[in-house]
């Protein structure tokens, strides 16, 4: 499974990229607004830090403007994935851009039927939002399982399942077991994946025992 970080904070992106575990970045208008940065300049900078796909979302909802925005965003860097909403207009833009060789991330997916349409439109990624479904009492991970099975049953569909709205590490592990291709997580969730109380306890014991030896590895 690939790990993307869902943030517009360049410092978090640089820090996580240094681990070697980061395969890409997803952003959205809300995250960009929170950053206070100029959107275009921010996307350009992120693309210099991360070699993998960097999702840059269009801001319009009508087909004509969305298409022009998508075409422009695709020129910012070779690894930009233009992000469009899962609407009729968004899928038309997806079809056009993917036909030109541009990566497209179709976002705000909440059903298997929508995921099927995104794949038919040539999406590189489809982003089902598991946390938001859980919030309204629906089964977010059940949707991931259904989409993964559907895509596996249709080998002509090349779209990757990008699990979004991830709320905790269990979402990531369960998605990996189901065969999802990507999980995009807030920085805090990625950092939680490193942690376990027994790791902390064991490390503290090793440090204490080593101190008793009075030795140093580096002189």
Catalytic residue positions, numbered: 83
Classify 4 as helix, strand or coil. strand
Tell me the C-alpha distance between 188 and 181, whole Å: 20
Tell me the C-alpha distance between 141 and 101, whole Å: 30
Closest to 103 (Cα-Cα) out of 77, 87, 79: 79
| CA distances from residue 37 to 32, 58, 80 in whole angstroms, order as listed | 7, 16, 18
Q: Provide the phi-psi class of 157: left if phi over 0, else alpha when psi is between -120 and 50, else beta.
A: beta
Q: Provide the phi-psi class of 135: left if phi over 0, else alpha when psi is between -120 and 50, else beta.
A: alpha
Closest to 89 (Cα-Cα) out of 126, 62, 60, 110: 62
Structure tokens of 16? 């996580």
Structure tokens of 177? 């077991």
């Amino acid at each position: 499974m690939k790990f993307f970080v869902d943030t517009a904070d360049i410092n978090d992106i640089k820090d996580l990229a240094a681990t070697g575990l980061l395969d890409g970045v997803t952003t959205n208008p809300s995250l960009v607004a929170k950053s206070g940065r100029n959107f275009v300049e921010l996307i350009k900078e992120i693309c210099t830090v991360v070699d993998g796909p960097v999702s840059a979302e269009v801001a319009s909802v009508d087909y004509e403007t969305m298409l022009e925005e998508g075409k422009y965003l695709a020129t910012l860097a070779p690894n930009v994935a233009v992000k469009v909403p899962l609407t009729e207009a968004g899928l038309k833009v997806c079809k056009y851009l993917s036909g030109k060789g541009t990566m497209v991330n179709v976002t705000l997916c909440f059903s298997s039927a929508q995921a099927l349409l995104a794949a038919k439109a040539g999406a590189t990624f489809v982003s089902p939002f598991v946390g938001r479904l859980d919030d309204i009492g629906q089964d977010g991970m059940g949707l991931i399982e259904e989409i993964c099975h559907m895509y596996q049953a249709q080998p002509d569909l090349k779209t990757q399942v990008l699990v979004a709205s991830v709320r905790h590490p269990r979402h990531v592990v369960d998605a990996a077991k189901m065969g999802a291709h990507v999980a995009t997580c807030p920085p805090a969730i990625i950092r939680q994946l490193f942690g376990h109380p027994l790791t902390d306890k064991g490390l503290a014991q090793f440090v204490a025992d080593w101190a008793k030896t009075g030795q140093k590895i580096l002189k």
